[in-house]
């Protein structure tokens, strides 16, 4: 048994099924009146929550209430879907409108499980279209015998990573009131092998947080020994920090992050997942731009994982979907206008040999509209600026080309693509927001081999000139600002909010929703076997 209205279902009968326009109960809700009409029209006027005599359809009502109860585990607020009002007294006072009131709660919850409009409203670089809820389809599926539980469950993302992230969120919720040993920040850097009075507290904290196995005794408790260093390195690696084992201010601050802070970060990423298409495809590439990595996913499982370099904060990589359609070997790099005038032009103005040294050609448009090459020495660089720069800069293929040996072409309005890079040393950094928006991929050749075959890639790279290779099937690519993720082994990774988008979304979402009473949560789980 859940709320009182399920304990005593014999309340006032539902009479006619005409929608009451202007009703106070209905006008306060965020579901459009047209959606409500569409829903019941698709049902042919049939009721969903009560029969013609006003008796409740208990299974539907109980499952709806259970999902409302447990919506907090998805980062949603149960109060948004009428948790407080789900009592016999409130429903009885609604009279005939209670049928529609319950439908509104159902549609609101379905809409928020199916998408997340808050993501786009808080992020100007979010270019995924929020999926509109198919209200008529929901009604038809109910009429065909699907349960409320089946319908709501089917709206969540299919990707296993969402399930793992949602499990992490639920685990963190349980830790909110748990005791955590105090960990004071050291007054200096603690390097491997050094002695410091904070080390015993560090050991205790690492054991309590399951980063280190318990030990019965330690010979030198104040020595920062190899066992502690290994645990700290793993902590650093999974928190987006340089895994050097040195205990300093950044590592200490990450250790002192509250559970609430981590919950907010995970919650923001749950909302982003729900704002993506529910079905990503049988084979696709997922680029976590906030975590600096890329997965090639096949049948829901990651086959390859690559480190990536993404856009710097002043030139962030946007979030959008595209498809890899062909590979370009030994590509030319056509320099985007912004990079040309903001980065290269000032360097050329200081050193007139800069562009020549970088193998960058200068092209000018003729009267016929064709681009033709002009000598760099013939251009008056000192008189150029953003306002009058009408040249095109293009870097020739070669070992110093900014795109490396390969580019993965994925047509999109943002001029973003995946490519190689000659600056391989940058992949050693833990925070890799160095590009001007495009995504540089570590060992991109291995990814290309999986998509096109080893022989085709070897043949393309064997030639010094530019060549193209069309893929037999376009491969979907999703570039998404994800700063928290959980791998297949259940390990959670947190990364700093380099673009500030987590913070912006958290401000829109508000505080972490409170869970209903524990006994009600337990009953709700029993209802939907969750």
Q: Is residue 178 situated within a structural domain?
A: no
Task: Specify the pLDDT at position 343.
Answer: 96
H or E element at residue 454: helix 454-461
- pLDDT surpasses 70 at 438: yes
- pLDDT surpasses 90 at 73: yes
Residues 353 and 441 placed together within one structural domain of the fold: yes
State the pLDDT confidence band at 90, using cuts at 50, 70 and 90: confident
Name the active-site residue from 3, 90, 306, 438. 438
Q: Is residue 293 situated within a structural domain?
A: yes
Q: What is the DSSP string of 270-311?
A: HHHHHTS-S---SEEEEEETTTTEEEEEETTEEEEEEEEEEE
Q: Which range of residues forms the domain containing residue 119?
A: 33-157+516-528
Q: What is the DSSP string of 202-270?
A: HHHHHHHTTSS---S--SSTTB--HHHHHHHHHHHHTTTS--S--B-HHHHHHHT--HHHHHHHHHHHH
Q: What percent of the chain has pLDDT over 70?
A: 93
Task: Specify the pLDDT at position 11.
Answer: 36
pLDDT tens, position by position, 298-310: 999 999 999 999 9
Residues 405 and 523 placed together within one structural domain of the fold: no
Task: Specify the pLDDT at position 116.
Answer: 87
pLDDT tens, position by position, 101-156: 999 999 999 999 998 889 999 999 999 988 888 999 999 999 999 999 999 999 99
Q: Is residue 503 situated within a structural domain?
A: no
Q: Is residue 205 situated within a structural domain?
A: no
CATH number assigned to the domain comprising residue 333? 2.40.440.10
pLDDT tens, position by position, 497-510: 999 999 999 999 99
Q: What percent of the chain has pLDDT over 90?
A: 82
Task: Specify the pLDDT at position 21.
Answer: 45
Residues 306 and 411 placed together within one structural domain of the fold: yes
Task: Specify the pLDDT at position 332.
Answer: 96
Task: Specify the pLDDT at position 19.
Answer: 53
419 catalytically annotated: yes
pLDDT tens, position by position, 390-428: 999 999 999 999 999 999 999 999 999 999 999 999 999
Q: Is residue 191 situated within a structural domain?
A: no
State the pLDDT confidence band at 87, using cuts at 50, 70 and 90: low
Task: Specify the pLDDT at position 356.
Answer: 95
Residues 410 and 524 placed together within one structural domain of the fold: no
Residues 425 and 520 placed together within one structural domain of the fold: no
- Phi and psi torsions of 123, nearest 5°: -140, 105
Residues 398 and 520 placed together within one structural domain of the fold: no
Q: Is residue 54 situated within a structural domain?
A: yes
Lowest mean pLDDT among 7-16, 189-198, 374-383: 7-16
Q: Is residue 221 situated within a structural domain?
A: no
- pLDDT surpasses 80 at 30: no
> Average pLDDT over the chain, rounded to whole?
91
Residues 442 and 521 placed together within one structural domain of the fold: no
Q: Label residue 179 exposed, middle or buried (CB < 10 Å: 0-12, 13-18, 19+).
A: exposed
Q: Label residue 356 exposed, middle or buried (CB < 10 Å: 0-12, 13-18, 19+).
A: middle
Count: domains in the chain: 2
Task: Specify the pLDDT at position 447.
Answer: 98
pLDDT tens, position by position, 308-343: 999 999 999 999 999 999 999 999 999 999 999 999
Task: Specify the pLDDT at position 95.
Answer: 75
Residues 407 and 520 placed together within one structural domain of the fold: no
Q: Is residue 258 situated within a structural domain?
A: no
- pLDDT surpasses 60 at 157: yes
Residues 520 and 404 placed together within one structural domain of the fold: no
Task: Specify the pLDDT at position 15.
Answer: 42
Residues 520 and 457 placed together within one structural domain of the fold: no
Q: Does 187 or 384 have the greater pLDDT score?
A: 384
Lowest mean pLDDT among 21-30, 39-48, 67-76, 234-243: 21-30
Q: Does 91 or 85 have the greater pLDDT score?
A: 85
Cα 141 to Cα 50, 59, 150, 156, 496: the distances in Å are 17, 16, 10, 16, 42
Task: Specify the pLDDT at position 22.
Answer: 40
Task: Specify the pLDDT at position 1.
Answer: 41
Residues 288 and 152 placed together within one structural domain of the fold: no
State the pLDDT confidence band at 32, using cuts at 50, 70 and 90: confident
Q: Label residue 368 exposed, middle or buried (CB < 10 Å: 0-12, 13-18, 19+).
A: exposed
Structure tokens at 380: 């008056």
Name the active-site residue from 372, 419, 425, 495. 419
State how far the Cα of 149 lies from the Cα of 128, in Å rounded to an integer. 27
- pLDDT surpasses 90 at 471: yes
Of 316, 286, 292, which Cα lies nearest the Cα of 125? 316
State the pLDDT confidence band at 9, using cuts at 50, 70 and 90: very low
Global pTM value: 0.91
- pLDDT surpasses 50 at 65: yes
Residues 291 and 333 placed together within one structural domain of the fold: yes
């Amino acid at each position: 048994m859940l709320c009182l209205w399920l304990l005593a279902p014999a309340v006032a009968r539902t009479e006619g099924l005409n929608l009451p326009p202007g009703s106070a109960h209905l006008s306060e809700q965020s579901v459009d009146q047209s959606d409500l009409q569409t829903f019941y029209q698709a049902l042919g006027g049939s009721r969903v929550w009560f029969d013609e005599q006003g008796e409740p359809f208990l299974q539907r009502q109980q499952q709806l209430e259970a999902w409302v109860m447990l919506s907090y585990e998805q980062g949603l607020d149960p109060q948004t879907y009428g948790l407080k009002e789900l009592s016999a007294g409130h429903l009885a006072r609604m009279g005939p409108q209670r049928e529609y009131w319950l439908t509104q709660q159902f549609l609101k919850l379905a809409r928020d499980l199916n998408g997340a409009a808050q993501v786009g409203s808080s992020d100007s670089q979010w270019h995924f279209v929020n999926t509109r809820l198919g209200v008529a389809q929901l009604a038809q599926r109910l009429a065909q015998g699907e349960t409320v539980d089946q319908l709501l469950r089917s709206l969540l993302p299919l990707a296993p990573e969402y399930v793992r992230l949602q499990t992490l969120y639920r685990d963190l919720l349980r830790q909110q009131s748990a005791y955590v040993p105090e960990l004071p920040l050291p007054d200096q850097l603690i390097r491997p092998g050094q002695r410091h009075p904070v080390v015993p507290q560090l050991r205790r904290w690492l054991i309590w947080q399951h980063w280190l196995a318990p030990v019965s005794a330690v010979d030198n408790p104040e020595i920062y020994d190899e066992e502690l260093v290994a645990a700290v390195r793993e902590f650093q690696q999974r928190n987006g920090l340089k895994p050097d084992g040195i205990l300093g201010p950044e590592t200490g601050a990450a250790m002192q992050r509250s559970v609430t802070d981590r919950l907010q970060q995970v919650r923001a990423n749950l909302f982003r997942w729900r704002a993506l298409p529910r079905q990503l495809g049988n084979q696709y590439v997922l680029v976590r731009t906030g975590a600096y990595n890329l997965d090639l996913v096949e049948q829901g499982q990651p086959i390859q994982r690559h480190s990536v370099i993404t856009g710097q904060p002043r030139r962030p990589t946007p979030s959008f979907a595209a498809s890899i359609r062909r590979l370009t070997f030994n590509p030319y790099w056509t320099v985007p206008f912004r990079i040309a005038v903001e980065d290269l032009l000032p360097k050329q103005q200081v050193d007139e040999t800069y562009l020549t040294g970088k193998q960058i050609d200068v092209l000018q448009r003729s009267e016929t509209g064709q681009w033709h090459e002009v000598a760099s020495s013939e251009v008056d660089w000192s008189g150029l600026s953003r306002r009058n720069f009408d040249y095109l800069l293009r870097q020739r293929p070669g070992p110093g080309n900014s795109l490396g040996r390969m580019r993965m072409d994925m047509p999109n309005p943002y001029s973003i693509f995946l490519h190689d890079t000659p600056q391989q040393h940058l992949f050693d950094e833990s925070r890799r927001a160095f590009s001007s928006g495009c995504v540089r991929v570590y060992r991109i050749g291995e990814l290309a081999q999986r998509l096109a075959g080893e022989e085709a890639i070897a043949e393309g790279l064997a030639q010094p000139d530019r060549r193209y290779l069309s893929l037999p099937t376009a491969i979907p690519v999703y570039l998404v600002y994800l700063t928290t993720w959980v791998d297949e082994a259940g390990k959670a990774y947190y990364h700093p909010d380099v673009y500030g988008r987590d913070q912006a979304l958290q401000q829109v979402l508000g505080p972490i929703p409170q869970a209903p009473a524990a006994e009600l949560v337990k009953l709700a789980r029993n209802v939907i076997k969750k």
